[in-house]
Amino acid sequence: MADYYEVLGVSKDASEDEIKRAYRKMSRKYHPDIAGAEFEDKFKEVNSAYEVLSDSQKRQMYDQGVDPNNPGASGFGGASGFEGFSDVFGQFFGGGFGGGASQGPIPRTQPGRDALTRLTIDLKTAVFGGTANTVIHTYGLCQDCGGSGAEQNSKPVTCPECHGQGFVQKVVRTMLGQMMTTAPCDRCEGHGTIIEHPCPSCLGHGRVRTKRTVGVSIPAGISDDSRLRLASQGEVGEGGGAAGDLYIDVSIATDRQFTREGDDLHCWIRIPMSWAVLGHDITIDTFDGQQSVSIPAGCQPDDTISLKGLGVGKLRSQGERGELVAHVTVEIPTKLNDKEQELIESFSESHDADAKHTAQRSKPTPVNRKGFFNRLKDALS
């Protein structure tokens, strides 16, 4: 019996959330559309493990030594005592030991698998929401045969070997003697019909490998590394079967002007020292266009100015948005002309004549903004 906990890389006491996170990680890693076709078996193994461990009843059965995906197998990987005779007894007792009498043709039409792709959007799309396009390579319906798998003007015919049953009876030797059992028909592979003239485009599969562009609706406020689901946009199944779902892992590209923290946007603006001292009105760029911002007189380095309603849209509160927080950086001049040097020295003599080195503190010393900036303002005027 496969160790499903080991397949997902979780402990036996893992929570539902831990199992779900592990599955998402492993499905991304081994999905054939991303990792390559050679990982298809591994991807199926991951899905089988999640199918069992995500269902409380199936997980309980598994923990007791029974694999719900293969209930006929024992906890030690061997066949159970009745598995080998299920088909045999079914022939005589109406399927009571495995349903042999209820066997029928295997449908050619099979549901498609889910598909997975990645999509990178810009920060502005995450702020407002919108539509983004992604290109996927997957199986689509064969347009030439409409999914039937047969060439135009032809249809599958009844298998002459099993006469449409999909299975044939065989004589097997058991410890009870020779008995009849059933097995899928080799001629039609259990379908009950044969495609004598396969469609040249899909070679009888009813689907072809395609490349298509899919429009993805992005909700305002979406977070980085989110996963979206588009129903029936995945892989079309064999025989033109219903398409699986398409999952999109969304990443948000780094923006040149803004960083994001939750629902808030942050930016850093550099202003001259005189603007910080005297105050100044400036214009900054936002995702809503240019906005006027007033720098108050006496603005300190690392002060912030908040603009409400100009941040990221709140995912579960339609119309509401966070703040845009502008962090102020004061630019200290490194070169002064003679007049500027004279003014700064005059200010220093007036304000800093009695200044001394004070003891170090664990927190910044409060600044008397009014006295300091009023004096500097007078010195520069």
- DSSP assignments along 93-159, one per residue: HTTTTT-GGG--PPPS--PPPPEEEEEEE-HHHHHH-EEEEEEEEEEEE-TTTTTS-BPTT---EE-
Which residue is listed with tokens 């629902």?
A: 263
User: What pLDDT is attached to residue 359?
Assistant: 60
Which residue is listed with tokens 């936002």?
A: 286
Burial 187-219, CB ≥16 within 10 A → b, else e: ebebbbbbbeebbeebebbbbbeeeeebebebe
Question: Which one has a higher pLDDT value, 304 or 58?
Answer: 304
Please give the model's pTM, rounded to 2 decimal places.
Answer: 0.65
CB under 8 Å to 13, separation ≥6 — which residues? none
Confidence class for position 380, pLDDT limits 50, 70, 90: low
Mind listing the pLDDT tens digit for each residue in 169-212? 877 777 777 777 888 899 999 999 999 999 999 999 999 999 99
| Domains in the chain: ranges and CATH | 1-80 (1.10.287.110), 255-332 (2.60.260.20), 336-381 (no CATH)
Residues that constitute the known binding site: 142, 145, 159, 162, 185, 188, 199, 202
Confidence class for position 80, pLDDT limits 50, 70, 90: very low
Confidence class for position 381, pLDDT limits 50, 70, 90: low
User: What pLDDT is attached to residue 61?
Assistant: 80
Residues that constitute the known binding site for Zn(2+): 142, 145, 159, 162, 185, 188, 199, 202
